[in-house]
Structure 1
């Protein structure tokens, strides 16, 4: 049977290049495993590999020291490690997708107003209802992110510039500025909301339990399934709308599914750990330099890189100010700002 248009035009590369990409994926999985183990061992109290193993798998004992180790590993470090991996994958994939769908090399998941929508909803929930538990206001964060994404996409779908990536970017920026102003106004008028916003806006994977992580992971899995299903058509969209339309791609449907996937990924991750800037931008460019422009490889690479980077930043945050901590979002921003400047200096955006 003959190849389809997608198979003929989507970048495939040589067998050797494909083998290198598979090996690269395996290497990233191995690095992620090592970093995850390190995440379980590093903290205000350092643990040996044996103590980590005991904390994970040993039966409860009467010894106070071993009981304390189990408590540290199972109730503190395992949840934050799992959340860092899940959120990192979501933000990495979301960053790669938003750059692809907008054809904008400096696009980030915040471009759709997702971060601003989540922040506004969290502050509003705390100010109106007095919520203090992350399980309570995380759902408002997800709802705010989703509503903001829908509004931005709706605004970009009407008028003379409907469907244009530039229109989507402008609509997202407008909604982001508006919601940021409203968030500041509410936070300044309510002390509890301001205090919560200071912590939540920093972006942290600490202090969140599995009662939040598991539902968030379910939304992220749905977003990943939608994202992976649209990768061949995303390759064609990046050849230009006219070419993609001529090859049978339903552009409106493809973009709609893509934006839904991005909203689910970024919205769920932001609801759980707050807005984490630059992560999606960074890993998408690193992944592109490793795989080329084929989104069937770029997106999985970006997801794994996102998990590795977020975990490493969380570990660094625990070490640099021991026994205190720097939030992972702060460390990512400190890393992302010079990375962004380096991309500009090296002229990478013109080739993205």
Structure 2
């Protein structure tokens, strides 16, 4: 029996409430730590003064208000977006290995960003998101198309293998475009992943998309819980499974596309967090979606803070930090799911 099936315990409302409320409080504290620590040393009184009596002539105030606060907020939004995307994908496909980074969604978004940079070097942040949305859909479409070729249909490991192959192909094409058009230096940011260069403009573009996506995901959560029981059960209860899957897929593409457009490729949050969330709160997606959003935001904020503290004043790519957590769990899940090939 797969880990995904073993985790299908009953919903735990009390624990779920504790996870959401407690996680939110810890997230706020983590955002405080993210604002406090970095290459430039600041203290709590300086942070407080920059919030209530901002002085644009003070270098410390500029660092806090224009660099660290938007960076922390962006990390929280992106972590929430990726975690909820992974939860939706796993719920729709009933596949323990489904996630934006493994199913070709993030690689597709990065590929189209490379195309956009090659065609229009001065592409705006908004246009970058449009290209990323299109690329996310392209990557996901290719993966599911390739995975469906097999006569026995999609299995978790076959889908993961298709995702790995398509991700490698799109990454190679992105590298080729970057070298040919001499944009390798610009593209290196997207490969490493991170929020170091995030500004308020990015947060203003990112926040509405992520918040709307999370609200729609919450509205779909009850239906995804039923869909997770199987298409036959879902149809038997009167659900329009096709419409539900299309809507949920659009939510995933928007959330992931927006995240990749701002932060580049950050893997494994969409894989790890949904599993942790299901283990804690059960299988009711009305609890999974908000809990995954909080835990995903918390993980990326902590990973970004840790990336600044490992080798100061230099920064470790935040994608490396999330991979250190995600790769062992992915290998464990692939081993367990491999029995179903």
> TM-score, structure 2 length as denominator?
0.86
Q: How does 1:40-79 map to 2 (within 5 A)?
A: 40-60=35-55, 67-79=58-70
Pairwise CA RMSD of aligned residues?
A: 3.1
* Residue aligning to 2:186: 196
Of residues 203, 214, 226, the one that matches 2:204 is 214
Query: Secondary structure of 1:130's partner?
Result: coil
Unaligned ranges ≥5, structure 1: 1-9
Instruction: Return closer, same or farther for 1:115/1:239 CA change in 2, 3 Å cut-off.
Output: same
Task: For residue 143 of structure 1, report the CA deviation from its aligned partner.
Answer: 3.7
Of residues 98, 103, 121, the one that matches 2:94 is 103
Q: Deviations over 1:98-136 (max 9, x none)?
A: 1111111011113443212221122122223323x7737
Q: 2 CA distance for matches of 1:116 and 1:196?
A: 16
Instruction: Return closer, same or farther for 1:306/1:76 CA change in 2, 3 Å cut-off.
Output: same
Q: How does 1:261-276 map to 2 (within 5 A)?
A: 261-276=251-266
Q: 2 CA distance for matches of 1:150 and 1:314?
A: 27
Count of aligned positions = 331
Instruction: Tell me which of the two structures has the higher relative contact order, counting C-alpha pairs closer than 8 angstroms and 6 or more residues apart.
Output: 2
Of residues 215, 219, 224, the one that matches 1:225 is 215
* Residue aligning to 1:130: 121
* Residue aligning to 1:318: 308
Of residues 276, 285, 290, the one that matches 2:275 is 285
Q: 1 CA distance for matches of 2:297 and 2:100?
A: 16
Retained in 1: the 8 A contact 2:281–2:288? yes
Q: Deviations over 1:246-289 (max 9, x none)?
A: 11111101111110111111111111100111111111111111
Instruction: Return closer, same or farther for 1:349/1:261 CA change in 2, 3 Å cut-off.
Output: farther
Instruction: Return closer, same or farther for 1:117/1:53 CA change in 2, 3 Å cut-off.
Output: same
Query: Secondary structure of 1:105's partner?
Result: coil
Task: For residue 350 of structure 1, report the CA deviation from its aligned partner.
Answer: 8.4
* Residue aligning to 2:248: 258
Q: 2 CA distance for matches of 1:292 and 1:349?
A: 23
* Residue aligning to 2:27: 32
Task: For residue 304 of structure 1, report the CA deviation from its aligned partner.
Answer: 0.6
> TM-score, structure 1 length as denominator?
0.83
With 79-88 and 227-236 compared, the bigger mean Cα shift is at 227-236
Query: Secondary structure of 2:101's partner?
Result: helix
* Residue aligning to 1:333: 323
Q: 2 CA distance for matches of 1:154 and 1:341?
A: 21
